[in-house]
């Protein structure tokens, strides 16, 4: 309303929200405002993450959408992905599902923060910050807002229980342990012996900080000489230890989830991979990873684990 008082006709207006439905911001605005308005969701930190999601409303002019898609790609050096106006758009819908699913899996399997970050970092073709360090950078409060937004806005989501906040996360938010912005979250910098700084990680059972412990798994040892990520994925998911169990649980759930998001969040499955490549810096998007593991073989294993994908996969 305030922007409309001062804008000139033809001026582009966009919002960087990661959660507010774009069409709701258009309500009560003039026809010219509505034609020139859409979402332009930059991923944080934008100097490192290449994703720019463009989210039009039914009233956004096609010329405005075309311009922003090209402008983002050509002048900003972004991977621009056209999204539907669905809750959390593409990358956060899938990425926050992945993080929330992992929060619950960690609790069930009794894994530590250090173990999970070892399992979900460069070995998977993902950033060194892996999962919990990434959560600290983004801010736990932001993740909780997006997760709550999906749970509220998507009552028919088959995985809605995954978006429920685990008790240890709720307690952390209550304590204002939100990550980098509050100087403690899943990790905390403390003064160690001799005044040197040490990184301590949170024990999720006791909610006490302890010195970080190097994690080791037999499955990871087997992959040290495998440079090709697609080949490495096969070894990781066939692991006979806790690491293998973790990967199977995580990926089978993810594959089922992304298959059910077509056509809800996008009609083209490559857009999900492009969004995860550029927004979460995953070397392999969900469908690329699934293909690397072999679709038919993986579907059999998913069924046996109770994670049946969408019917179009079978078709």
Residue 186, pLDDT score: 98
Share in percent of the chain as helix, strand, coil (round to 5): 50, 10, 35
Query: Which range has the worst mean pLDDT, 32-46, 82-96, 164-178, 190-204?
Result: 190-204
Residue with tokens 């959408």: 65
CA angle 257, 240, 225 (to 5 degrees): 95
Considering the chain, what percentage of its residues have pLDDT values greater than 90? 93
Average pLDDT over the chain reads 96
Read off the pTM. Answer: 0.94
Q: Which residue has the higher pLDDT, 18 or 294?
A: 294
pLDDT class of 44 with cuts at 50, 70, 90: confident
Mean of pLDDT values over 5-10: 96
Decide: 12 and 66 in contact? Cβ < 8 Å.
no
Residue 270's pLDDT band (boundaries 50, 70, 90)?
Answer: very high
How would you label 169-206 residue by residue, b for 16+ Cβ within 10 Å and e otherwise? beebeeeebbbeebebbbbbeeeeeeeeeeebbbebee
In the sheet that holds 13-15, the strands lie side by side as 13-15, 37-42, 51-55, 79-82
pLDDT for 139: 93
**Residue found by looking up tokens 């999962």 in the block:** 131
**The pLDDT value given to residue 231:** 97
| pLDDT tens sequence across 101-130 | 999 999 999 999 999 999 999 999 999 999
Q: Helix, strand or coil for residue 160? A: helix
| H or E segment and range at residue 227 | none
Strands 13-15 and 79-82, by their bridges, are: unpaired
Residue 259 has pLDDT above 80, yes or no: yes
Dist CA 271 CA 15 (whole Å): 21
* Cβ proximity of 299 and 313 under 8 Å: yes
pLDDT digits (tens, 9 = 90+) for 123-158: 999 999 999 999 999 899 999 999 999 999 999 999
| Residue 196 confidence (pLDDT) | 86
Give per-residue pLDDT as tens, 177-221. Answer: 999 999 999 999 998 777 788 999 999 999 999 999 999 999 999
| pLDDT value for 191 | 85
Nearest residue to 181 via CA among 236, 241, 152, 139? 139
Cα 150 to Cα 143: distance, rounded to the nearest angstrom? 11
How far apart (Å, rounded) are the C-alpha atoms in residues 105 and 224? 25
pLDDT-derived band of residue 82, with 50, 70 and 90 as boundaries? very high
pLDDT at 245: 98
Instruction: Identify whether the C-beta of residue 80 lies closer than 8 Å to the C-beta of residue 72.
Output: yes
Mean pLDDT across 76-91: 97
* Best CA proximity match to 92, nearest among 129, 132, 142, 48: 142
Tens digit of pLDDT for each residue in 289-307?
999 999 999 999 999 999 9
Residue 11 has pLDDT above 80, yes or no: yes
> Residue 180: what pLDDT?
95
Specify whether the CB–CB gap between 39 and 93 falls below 8 A. Answer: no
pLDDT score at 281:
94
Cα–Cα distance, 56 to 80 (Å, whole number) = 13
CA gyration radius for the chain? Answer: 21
């Amino acid at each position: 309303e305030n922007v409309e008082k001062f804008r000139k006709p033809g001026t582009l207006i966009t919002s960087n929200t990661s959660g507010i439905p774009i069409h709701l911001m258009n309500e009560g605005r003039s026809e010219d405002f509505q034609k020139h308005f859409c979402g332009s969701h930059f991923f944080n930190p934008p100097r490192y993450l290449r994703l720019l999601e463009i989210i039009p409303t039914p009233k956004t002019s096609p010329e405005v959408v075309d311009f922003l898609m090209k402008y983002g790609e050509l002048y900003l050096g972004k991977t621009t992905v056209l999204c539907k106006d669905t809750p959390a758009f593409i990358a956060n819908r899938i990425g926050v599902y992945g993080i929330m699913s992992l929060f619950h899996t960690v609790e069930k399997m009794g894994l530590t923060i250090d173990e999970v970050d070892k399992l979900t970092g460069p070995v998977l073709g993902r950033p060194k910050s892996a999962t919990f360090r990434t959560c600290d950078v983004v801010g736990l409060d932001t993740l909780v807002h997006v997760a709550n937004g999906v749970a509220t806005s998507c009552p028919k989501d088959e995985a809605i229980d995954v978006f429920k906040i685990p008790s240890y996360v709720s307690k952390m938010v209550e304590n204002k342990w939100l990550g980098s912005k509050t100087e403690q979250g899943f990790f905390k910098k403390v003064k160690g012996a001799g005044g040197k700084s040490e990184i301590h990680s949170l024990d999720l059972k006791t909610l006490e900080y302890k010195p970080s412990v190097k994690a080791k798994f037999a499955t990871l040892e087997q992959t040290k000489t495998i440079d090709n990520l697609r080949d490495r994925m096969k070894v990781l998911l066939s692991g006979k230890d806790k690491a293998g169990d973790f990967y199977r649980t995580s990926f089978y759930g993810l594959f089922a989830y992304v298959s059910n998001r077509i056509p809800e969040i996008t009609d083209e499955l490559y857009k999900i991979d492009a969004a995860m490549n550029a927004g979460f810096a995953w070397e392999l998007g969900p469908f690329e990873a699934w293909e690397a593991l072999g679709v038919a073989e993986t579907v059999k294993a998913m069924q046996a684990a109770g994670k049946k994908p969408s019917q179009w996969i079978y078709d």
